[in-house]
């Protein structure tokens, strides 16, 4: 079945999908993340174009799209690192920059290498913990959680990409947050690392917490997430439960390729 690719079609999918997405008991609760007509332009380029979605507590959502589709920009807008040109992004009902204790509510990793190469992993986490008034013992806890304790005293320049991914994740987990936002977290992880991450994210969501994972690695996402949003050229093409998108026997890859190929032509 051909899929219509204009924005109205995407909206329809979104609206049809939503009732099934939200369990009855959760409907009364405020969404964890709300983006309303979120738009970000850089000069003539519109990186994020009128994107609207919301995330419910306890879900793992995959945020998919080709490179340059606007995934990272959307996450930066959610996290207050960039200001939208139009529209609004709210986390827990407020702009990120206005959250009282952001580290204890939201953990995020946007880049896999946001470290000073000459600082050791433990000191990197301590600088973050001090700023958020998180006790020093928590630094050791997250180091243990991501299995970096043996190398915590080594400078980050000696770390592999997989170790850097885990150090970034440790930083995001310092405040034991309710919402985790990750950009391409599986990059550089070996199969055991990917397996570990998948289990970790599932366990995280089972506790009623929320995960948003941006990725272009479909096979990875298909095994981890229950909800999918697909973005291309700044526009949200579809959003809904993974099961609904693939119910006609299509794989996620087929759905993704059909949607994004249409945009490119």
Partner 1 sequence: MTAQLRSELLKHRSTFTNLGLLLAMLALVLLAVLLHALSLPADRLDSASNQVQVFRFGPLLGALFAGLVGALSITGEIRHGTIRPTFLMTPRRERVVAAKIVASGLVGIVFGLVAVGVAVGVGSVALAARGIPVTLDGGDYILMPAGGIAAAALWAPIGLGLGALLRNQVATLVAIFLWLFFIENLFLDFVPGAGRFAPGAAAAAITGLDPDRLLAPSLGALLLALYAAAAAAAGAIATLRRDVP
Give the E-state strand segments of 33-165 in sequence order: 33-42, 45-55, 60-64, 86-91, 106-109
Q: Which of 57, 69, 82, 194 binds partner 1 (CB under 8 A)?
A: 82
Only segment of 58-66, 121-129, 146-154, 246-254 that touches partner 1 (CB under 8 A) = 121-129
Among 108, 139, 180, 186, binds partner 1 (CB under 8 A): 108
Q: Which of 96, 200, 204, 256 binds partner 1 (CB under 8 A)?
A: 96
Among residues 245, 181, 186, 239, the alpha carbon closest in space to that of 217 is found at 186
Stretch that binds partner 1, among 8-16, 81-89, 203-211, 249-257 (CB under 8 A): 81-89
Query: How far apart (Å, rounded) are the C-alpha atoms in residues 141 and 175?
Result: 11
For partner 1 (CB under 8 A), the number of binding residues is: 33
| Least distance (Å) between residue 129 CB and partner 1 | 8
Between 51 and 82, name the residue whose CB sits nearer to partner 1: 82
Among 23, 68, 93, 117, which residue sits at the site for partner 1 (rule: CB under 8 A)? 117
Query: How far, in Å, CA of 35 to CA of 136, rounded?
Result: 34
Q: Does 114 bind partner 1 (CB under 8 A)?
A: yes
For residue 116, the 8-state DSSP code is -
Token pair, residue 56, equals 């419910």
> H-type helices in the chain, by residue range?
7-21, 71-78, 102-105, 121-131, 136-145, 161-173, 191-206, 218-222, 242-245, 252-264
* Residue whose CB is less far from partner 1, 18 or 104: 104
Chain residues that interact with partner 1, rule: CB under 8 A: 76, 79-83, 96-97, 99, 102-103, 106, 108, 110-111, 113-120, 123-124, 126-128, 130-133, 171
């Amino acid at each position: 079945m051909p899929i219509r690719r204009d924005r109205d079609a995407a909206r329809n999918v979104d609206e049809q999908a939503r009732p099934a997405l939200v369990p009855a008991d959760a409907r009364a609760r405020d969404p964890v993340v709300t983006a309303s007509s979120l738009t970000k332009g850089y000069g003539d380029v519109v990186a994020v174009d009128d994107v609207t979605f919301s995330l419910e507590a306890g879900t793992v959502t995959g945020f998919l799209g080709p490179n340059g589709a606007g995934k990272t920009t959307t996450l930066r807008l959610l996290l207050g690192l960039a200001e939208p040109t139009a529209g609004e992004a709210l986390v827990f009902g407020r702009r990120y920059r206005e959250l009282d204790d952001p580290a204890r509510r939201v953990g995020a990793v946007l880049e896999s290498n946001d470290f000073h190469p000459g600082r050791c992993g433990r000191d990197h986490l301590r600088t973050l913990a001090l700023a958020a008034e998180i006790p020093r013992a928590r630094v050791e806890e997250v180091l243990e959680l991501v299995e970096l304790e043996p190398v915590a005293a080594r400078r980050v320049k000696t770390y592999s990409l997989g170790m850097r991914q885990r150090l970034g994740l440790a930083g995001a987990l310092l405040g034991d947050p309710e919402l985790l936002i990750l950009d391409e977290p599986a990059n550089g992880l070996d199969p055991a690392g990917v397996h570990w991450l998948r289990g970790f994210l599932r366990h995280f969501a089972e506790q009623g917490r929320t995960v948003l994972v941006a990725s272009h690695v479909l096979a990875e996402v298909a095994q981890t997430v229950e909800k999918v949003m697909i973005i291309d050229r700044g526009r949200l093409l579809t959003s809904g439960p993974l099961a609904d998108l693939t119910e006609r026997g299509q794989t996620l890859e087929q759905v993704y390729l059909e949607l994004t190929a249409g945009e490119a032509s």
